[in-house]
Structure 1
Amino acid sequence: MAAPQTNGINPAEATNNETAPLIPHHSHNHNHHHRTPTLFPIPHEGESGRTGFHPSHFFLVLWRSSSPISSFVNLLFPFVIAAFISRIFFSHSHPLWTFALSYIGMIPSANLLGFAGQELARKMPKVAGILIETTFGSIVEIILFVVLIINHDEKEEGGNMVPIIQAAILGSILTNLLLCLGVCFFVGGIRHVSQRFHAIVSEVGSGLLLVAAFGLLIPSAFYSALKSEAKTVEVVIGEGVKVVVPLGHSDDFTLGKLEDDVLKISRATSVALILSFFMYIWYCASSQHSIFDEVIEADEHRDADREADMEKPKFTATEAVIALLLSLACVTALLIFLVDEIEHVVHSGVPDQFLGLILLPLVEKAAEHLTAIDEAWDGVINVALYHCLGPSIQTALFNGPLVVIVGWTLGKPMDLNFEIFMIGLLVLSILVISNFLRDGESNWLEGALLVIVYAITAIACWYYPNPDVASSNSLQQLKLINGTVANAIGGLRQAFTGV
């Protein structure tokens, strides 16, 4: 008899009768005629043994969460209540306290959202569960981006949210690729010396990240290549009189046209990246590509805490939905509090780039990071890797482009024209990660090096000037130049005509 096909997985590690493709298909095996057909059959590890909503069991499951680390995070829930109190009574007098309490309160709220998504995901086929869990983890990021773009108003002081959104997009990717993956490699390497992961996970992840980086680079590259054509220089023609002379070769290529072209390219690129994301989802979902399902299934069988996890009490489907709604409400409210106080935080001395690249991604990804680290500790390195690469891919291919489309709908000029500094960080980070993933094996040294790279990035972001100073690739600089041109021409006219 021929050996069963396992797509490169050791047959001892992959149990065929437990492998469930993401898109359910009808089986012609008549040995299962006693089972009741369902659209989403609940795997054994996702069964709660209960139905409906039971308050005592609900809070017990919520408290125990998915891991000991997540259980300790639940101790921070009083900060959620404190954040609401501070917002209502002390927002005007102590805005920094409101920001700090909301920031800490986001950690348990995001953790609950991730855990509820995980509980719901465990009731579905394996890869579908991973994708759903990742999606719910990214909802925090999507809400953050939408709240930021809604609050964007260039006419108000401190109302320009575009640089913060751009920094948060790249910061989210870098936090997952460098910090989260680095800690996973480090923690897993301490307990297991070295861990091998399947090539399909790293290859697809690295390829998609390169495509995403290419898409995010296009608007910035376009601007960098043509900005000299629209650049201007001040020429002194008399005491107190300056005129701004364009250096371009064509009078038709104005600053306004460059701005309009960058916006159009950003929007078209965003549509293409979102299309790429749905193609990626379909690739993972197709039954003929169930290699992901088998890899994750085999990995979970090696989970050191598999038996203990299966014995834990679990949410019912109803309780999982209630937990999702409750956590979504808390996350949305806390993010609104955070965004409203950003201006005060920046004025207190925290740079925009550090806020967007480091602080916001850390709190929005807290739940996913804790889950991935716990999986790496238990030896489930493929799932941990998927939790690091998956959110990065979704941010680059969907969440970031989505905020551009939302800004387009709201009539706000959100583009993908990133600072050269941030683009350099993204490209270098992807190169470092791709090199570490190439051999298909991880250890604690590689993890430590990734964390060190992230620390160096954080230090550089702290000293990087705000966009009004560092405008190497910012359309805001063009608007300032337009104002300078108008003022100079007005001064020149007044000097010669007296009007």
Structure 2
Amino acid sequence: MAGSEPGADAARETYSLQASGSGDPALPQSRQDVAAVENGAGDDRPRPSRLFRVKSAGESNRRGIHPLQMLKIIWTSSSTISQAVNVLWPFVPAALALYYTQTGPHTLRFSLAYIAMVPCANLVGFAGAELARKMPHMLGVLAETTIGSIVEIVLFLVLLLATDNANKYYIIRAAILGSILATMLLCLGLCFFASGLRRETSTFDSALSEVGTGLLLMAGLGLAIPTIFSNGISIEDFGITQADLDDRTRQLSRVISVLLLIAYIVFVWFQMRTHHGIYDAIFEHDEKRDLDKHKDKAKAKLTLTECIVSLVASVALVTLIALALVNEIEPVVLESGISDPFMGLILVPLVEKAAEHLTALDEAWDNQINFALSHCIGSTIQTAMLNAPLVVIVAWGRGLPLDLSFEIFEIAILILAIITVGNYLRDQKSDYLEGFLCVITYIAIAVAAFYFPTSPEAHSRVEGGEHAERSLFM
């Protein structure tokens, strides 16, 4: 590091040699290594005592709010692909107008709301990224990931509390797993593929891959327990009623949700307090190898006030669009023959995670693979250990019978996907082949979900008890 003392350089060489196969310099391996580096002169890494210091990378050199300048910055966005999404903004008023005037067919209203959610989610992600620039690395990544999850939380809560969809609990459960699969397979796969197009191999740090893989396995097991419990008990053999089994499963799901929330809080404490130095050093290293960091520094940035205003406005728009979207799910399922598994497992998660996918993809393209990995894994962990338990607890508080008893097909796919991704992360290297295989795996799951039938309860709502025949090729 420029301006460092010889001792700090020696410390970096020491933990570079100790790196477990990453082959990437300046990646710390222990708290002691980080402490040795932090004692070096010229190190401007944010200290714990200055946790909320505004970083120079996020300084806008302006104060307050300037509407025209703010709109210009939002339009240019953070990357080319994110800027391209902004051309979809005309769909937002069109979707709101058709839904709230109740004009046009349900499929059209659903399609417009679905497309309109993308620029709204993108604005949430951009405002979160601008806010994260003003924070130390680890706090910024956590804040950006959490803000990116707002769209998902809003969709879950709107579907839970603001709709009368008879099959909404099934769709929520499918959307939880679908969100995990979309981020873990599709988003991560696209990041590996994009990074592999510009370099032969990308390396990332073990602190991200090992901790992330362990948490994913634990979260997957936690989500699977109520399903295994519910399907492993025979009503006849144990002499209980179906209502009794459902009640036991629901109580178990609530306990599991509380435990997952506690585990997530401990994980955040691990990242933010006891081991934050390691993560700060990793992300600092990624910033140094950012291929377009000179362009990022030259870009105009939002002020703190503009970040907050953008977040409030984008969350309000997301909520309105979410109401339009989820209220059209049931009519679209009935009219088009799209199954609830495909709707919950594939369609809903794709739009709710749009901001996370675009941000991570841009970071991977610019050789910030640790940032991209933290967004993909961090978002997946948040869905499994924060968002899913949160919606179960909210349902508990409102007296609604939502549990974590998934279909065997869905939970089996989840566990196999976690094992597959964990195997790719094990060597701390990635290339375009691994990314391509992750995307192909996701497409295979999407096809399976397309042909997976809707639950019998949903079938009873359709005249004749059957949906229209579906085919990918007609």
TM bucket by the smaller chain? 0.7 to 0.9
Corresponding residue of 1:493 = none
1:162 aligns with 2:191: no
Q: How does 1:47-58 map to 2 (within 5 A)?
A: 47-58=59-70
* Structure 1 residue runs of 4 or more that deviate by more than 3 Å after TM superposition: 1-16
Corresponding residue of 1:459 = 447
Q: How does 1:397-476 map to 2 (within 5 A)?
A: 397-468=385-456
Separation in 2, partners of 1:8, 1:143: 43
1:77 aligns with 2:64: no
Separation in 1, partners of 2:303, 2:276: 30
Equivalent residues of 2:123, 2:310 under 8 A apart: yes
Aligned with residue 110 of structure 1, among 121, 129, 134: 121
Corresponding residue of 2:472 = none
Q: Which moved more, 1:9-18 or 1:287-296?
A: 9-18
1:277 aligns with 2:277: no
Equivalent residues of 2:27, 2:282 under 8 A apart: no
Normalised to the residue count of structure 2, the TM-score between the two structures is 0.88
Q: Deviations over 1:179-231 (max 9, x none)?
A: 001111111001111101101100011000011011101111111211x2x1x
Q: How does 1:46-445 map to 2 (within 5 A)?
A: 46-89=58-101, 91-151=102-162, 153=164, 158-226=165-233, 228=234, 230=235, 247-250=236-239, 253-347=240-334, 348-445=336-433
Separation in 1, partners of 2:325, 2:458: 24
Distance 1:439 1:93, change over 3 A: same
Separation in 2, partners of 1:298, 1:369: 22
Equivalent residues of 1:152, 1:162 under 8 A apart: no
- Deviation, structure 1 residue 41: 1.0
SS of the aligned residue for 1:290 comes to helix
Equivalent residues of 1:152, 1:160 under 8 A apart: no
SS of the aligned residue for 1:66 comes to coil
SS of the aligned residue for 2:237 comes to coil
Separation in 1, partners of 2:294, 2:426: 32
Separation in 2, partners of 1:205, 1:315: 31
Equivalent residues of 2:260, 2:389 under 8 A apart: yes
Count of aligned residue pairs for this structure pair: 432
Equivalent residues of 1:61, 1:314 under 8 A apart: yes
Corresponding residue of 2:469 = none
- Deviation, structure 1 residue 287: 4.8
Q: Which amino acid aligns with 1:295?
A: I
Q: Deviations over 1:130-155 (max 9, x none)?
A: 000000000110111111111454xx
Separation in 1, partners of 2:44, 2:368: 17
Corresponding residue of 2:56 = 44
Equivalent residues of 1:215, 1:273 under 8 A apart: yes
Separation in 1, partners of 2:163, 2:144: 30
- Deviation, structure 1 residue 95: 2.0
Equivalent residues of 1:299, 1:383 under 8 A apart: yes
Separation in 1, partners of 2:168, 2:249: 18
Q: Which amino acid aligns with 1:97?
A: L
Q: Deviations over 1:360-392 (max 9, x none)?
A: 111111111011111111010010011110110
Q: Which amino acid aligns with 2:44?
A: E
Equivalent residues of 1:151, 1:159 under 8 A apart: no
Equivalent residues of 2:220, 2:415 under 8 A apart: yes
Separation in 2, partners of 1:288, 1:75: 41
Gaps of 5+ in 1: 26-37, 231-246, 472-499
Equivalent residues of 2:166, 2:458 under 8 A apart: no
Separation in 1, partners of 2:103, 2:67: 37
Separation in 2, partners of 1:225, 1:427: 17
SS of the aligned residue for 2:455 comes to coil
Distance 1:172 1:464, change over 3 A: same
Corresponding residue of 1:19 = 45
Q: Which amino acid aligns with 1:186?
A: F
Normalised to the residue count of structure 1, the TM-score between the two structures is 0.84
- Deviation, structure 1 residue 98: 1.4
- Deviation, structure 1 residue 288: 4.2
Equivalent residues of 2:212, 2:377 under 8 A apart: yes
Equivalent residues of 2:250, 2:401 under 8 A apart: yes
Q: Which amino acid aligns with 1:99?
A: F
- Deviation, structure 1 residue 87: 1.4
Corresponding residue of 2:33 = none
